[in-house]
Amino acid sequence: MMKACSSKPLMSFIKPGISNSTIHAEALWASFVVEHNLAFNASDHATKLFTKMFPDSEIAKSFACGRTKTTCIIKGALAPHYSEQMMESLDKCESFSVLMDESNDKVNKSCIILIKLFDYTVGDVRTRFLDMPIVNIGTAANLFEALKDSLSKKGLDFGKCISFMSDTTNVMKGVRSGVQKRIKDECPQLYDVGCICHLADLTIKAGMETLPVNIDQLFVDIFYFFYHSSKRKEQFADNWCSFFPTEPAAILKHCTTRWLSLLRCVDRYISRFEGLKSYFLSCDESETEKVQNIISVLENPFTKPILLFLSHILPSMDKFNRLFQKSKENSTCQLYNEMGRLVRLYASNLLKPDVIKATENKLGSLNLEKRGQLADENLGIGNATWVHLTELEEEHDVKPFYAAVRNWYVATIKKMLKKFPFHDTLLKDLGIINPEVAFTNS
């Protein structure tokens, strides 16, 4: 299990007479460094710290695991051990899945490759690290070759590969020459359902693009307006405190590639809406183009009701995403039913009950035309939105808002029906082994 690392042989660190308990403690520390992504330099400090923290411990007195030794333990002992453990399980397995993703590093772009298999050492399905090659030119051909080489180094091929998971980019999922297509050429039995969290995010993006105000851009513009300026932050805090007795919460950064970012930002900006509006209207830079763009959106009478509407409807999508980001044993069994539940929930906010009922279990035949939609006063927009609209309609025609809500629902539901794998009969059949369904049926 002990191999040489890049600098010194690992055995050169094992002092005569060292106890197994101390070796065990040092191995645990090295594992801790890896698990929590700590800097190796922390090991130099930990060795001294443990002696002071536990002066009556013989293990602490003999513990000596600086950065060089920690590196050697990780590279020369832990990595080979877990790699061998994984290979033993792979030898016993009839199949495995591959998970693959690229980094966005500017210097060297890494490609992380994971293997999902039934690990006989723990008696359960586990995801294990396989390799992380450098692929600076991330074409489908290069990524496929990197994957093939990584499997070959471990004595594997695509013969046992039954599924492939990645993001939904054309490089990975392209039907003509993507990585997945190249794997299927060598492995016709390959199964792929796509990343449901990516697909769910695409459905929300489709709805956001229909709105009359660009909410995503508003969040980005406001965040970066304050980001590098302590002066602006201080001015905003002073302006805020003149209206409210509490300190303003931090301006959140909205990252459009983070699935759970939008709702957090929506709720934060709703609670800070009036304060932000007041600040930008009175700030010293109100004449600049950047600030004028922000002001035009904040002064739009439909911006706040749209935020309130999003605050009402996005939690259901967040709940869906969180469910399938968790490592739950039965989450795949739930997928088909949860997709249907989400579509029906959104449809119930837009369509008349008889229109939804007419589709029975054939969601693809949902009629989203205007004649089948609810009246404005019955649309699902949330209580807070209704209260705000009641005040708003005294001065403004609110019909454009209702039209925007309808467009949002139609675009989102259409994208769900197009992108979600409702056609996958295997996913549908897997529902019967969902514990909730099984117990209900019994």
pLDDT of 4 reads: 39
**Domains of the chain: which residue ranges?**
10-82, 93-192, 214-299, 308-441
Q: Which residue has the tokens 């509407």?
A: 309
The string of pLDDT tens digits covering residues 108-124 is 889 999 998 888 777 88
The string of pLDDT tens digits covering residues 335-355 is 899 999 999 999 999 999 999
pLDDT of 435 reads: 63
CATH topology of domain 93-192: Nucleotidyltransferase; domain 5 (3.30.420)
The string of pLDDT tens digits covering residues 234-286 is 888 877 766 666 666 788 888 876 778 899 999 999 988 988 898 888 887 77
Mean pLDDT of 314-338: 83
Which residues lie below 8 Å from residue 20, measured CB to CB, with a gap of 6+? Answer: none
Query: Does the pLDDT of residue 442 top 80, yes or no?
Result: no
Tell me how far apart the alpha carbons of residues 308 and 383 are, in angstroms, rounded to a whole number.
9
Query: Does the pLDDT of residue 26 top 70, yes or no?
Result: yes
Query: Does the pLDDT of residue 358 top 70, yes or no?
Result: yes
The sign one gets for the Cα dihedral 317, 318, 324, 330 is negative
Tell me how far apart the alpha carbons of residues 171 and 442 are, in angstroms, rounded to a whole number.
45
- Long-range Cβ contact pairs of 152-160 (< 8 A, separation 24 or more): 154/83, 154/87, 154/90, 154/130, 155/87, 156/90, 156/96, 158/183, 158/186, 158/187, 158/190, 159/187, 160/90, 160/93, 160/94, 160/95, 160/96
The string of pLDDT tens digits covering residues 139-185 is 999 999 999 999 998 888 888 888 898 887 889 988 888 999 999 99
Structure token pair of residue 397: 């025609």
The string of pLDDT tens digits covering residues 210-230 is 999 999 999 999 999 999 888
